[in-house]
Amino acid sequence: MSARKARAAWWVLALALGVACEPPPVFPGADRRQNAKTSSVQGDLVVTSLSRGDVVVLLFDAARPPPPQGTGRPVAFTVVPQATLFGAADASSAGPFTAPYAFSLVPPGKYLVRAFLDANHDFIPWYGVTGEVNAGDVGGAAIDAVSRAPREVEVALDDRGFPQPALGVAVSVGDTAKVPVDRPVFEPLGQPESVTLTAPRVTVDLLPKPVVDGPISQARPVFLAQLVDANGDGRPDDSNGDGTPDFWPRVVVRKLAGEHPLVDENDLDRNGLLDATGQDYEHVNPMTGEAIAADGQPDLVVLQAGFDFSEYLPQLVDAMGRVKTTPTPVPKLKLVLLPRALDASNPAQPQVLKSVPSGRYAVTLIQSTGQTWRLPNELTPGVAEKVGLPAVASQGFVVLVP
């Protein structure tokens, strides 16, 4: 090879190497999840308890808090194993014990962090019937050091628009927050498979239903009755001004999707949020009776429902007629269903529907402890066998609207 050709070949090789060292151009794809800018929430878990078990840490959207404040579901959870947290500590030691936790891929926003120690070793997150605390578990949360209220944690954007991690978010779990009762597992009196909604109203007596079988350990379910007195003036609140005092437990009767045994209408992905598209119904102006056309937005359809607690009223106040500050266990609850439907997509301002949509409706009971139970659930015969859970006939109960 001539010297001239050798120099030319060298320059070609050098140019190729130079090009190879340049980073390739990167363009965002069409998938918005790949383009999302996320960060993290992290800190230390601090446990002061004689109980032992894994600790489940849950992240909630602050705008959708969990029961009893709201009906939000966790957007993420992580588990700190018992061995990591307690090591070889003596069983008589209450700690405190510490271990780090972290949530990754957290979008910008405001969040609440809750936690519980699974002392019963029975938490299975994939099912509603095994996804909450029961008696003996130990609760906790990220708490504001000054107000002692649940802390709102923010993943904020910097000047460049990048989310910044929320660091040092301490989560405290302690025996002062030990869960006193099992979940409010219930069944309808007589165990009918369904009840049909008729005018002017339908009542159904609900009874506690112990279930101890396989992974389900709810041996002592109880209904905790209590009048609400949020401002502490000794008188029961009436937040919606309907003349009926606010009361625990609360109930939500929500429309199910078609013939699917468990899925809520307009939440087909089961993430707790209304789908982008779905069933939409005519509303009505309750003052004038004038129909309001469907607006193209999916509705969250619930029946007007509540509990008739009149027989327990004397037990819920003290000798001076003031609201008792502690709940009272009661043996049954009388559920009252009215032939009226609401769109609760904005829970602060539910809108009346022109008619009650036909279909099947699920009943969810919400206790003041934040514990819930719903019928139908995964123990429904025909469903339970497919997911490896025990079948319980009464747990398939639904409300029917013809």
Q: Which of 178, 203, 238 is at the close of a domain?
A: 178
Asked whether residue 132 falls in the same domain as residue 257, the answer is no
In a domain, 21, yes or no: no
In a domain, 19, yes or no: no
Q: Are 113 and 141 in contact (CB under 8 A)?
A: yes
Asked whether residue 118 falls in the same domain as residue 228, the answer is no
DSSP tag of 340: E
In a domain, 3, yes or no: no
pLDDT, residue 1, reads: 47
Q: Which of 178, 209, 242 is at the close of a domain?
A: 178
Asked whether residue 73 falls in the same domain as residue 199, the answer is no
Q: Distance between CA atoms of 256 and 263, rounded to whole angstroms?
A: 6
| 3-class DSSP state of 18 | helix
In a domain, 10, yes or no: no
Surface-to-core class of residue 11, CB atoms within 10 Å of its CB (0-12 exposed, 13-18 middle, 19+ buried): exposed
Asked whether residue 101 falls in the same domain as residue 211, the answer is no
Q: Which of 146, 178, 210 is at the close of a domain?
A: 178
Full-model pTM: 0.87
pLDDT, residue 240, reads: 79
Asked whether residue 282 falls in the same domain as residue 376, the answer is yes
- Residues contacting 84, CB < 8 A, separation 6+: 99
Asked whether residue 132 falls in the same domain as residue 251, the answer is no
In a domain, 12, yes or no: no
Q: What is the CATH number of the domain that holds 135?
A: 2.60.40
The domain of 288 spans 186-401
HSE-up of 156 (CA within 13 Å, CB side)?
Answer: 6
Q: How many domains does the chain have?
A: 2
Asked whether residue 251 falls in the same domain as residue 285, the answer is yes
Asked whether residue 356 falls in the same domain as residue 237, the answer is yes
Ordered per-residue pLDDT tens for the chain, 402 residues: 444 444 433 333 333 333 334 444 444 455 455 557 899 999 999 999 999 999 999 999 999 999 998 889 999 999 999 999 999 999 999 999 999 999 999 999 999 999 999 999 999 999 999 999 999 999 999 998 888 889 999 999 999 999 999 999 999 999 999 999 999 999 999 999 999 999 999 999 999 999 999 999 999 999 999 999 988 999 999 887 888 899 999 999 999 998 789 999 999 999 899 999 999 999 999 889 899 999 999 999 999 999 999 999 999 999 999 999 999 999 999 999 999 999 999 988 999 999 999 999 999 999 999 999 999 999 999 999 999 999 999 999 999 999
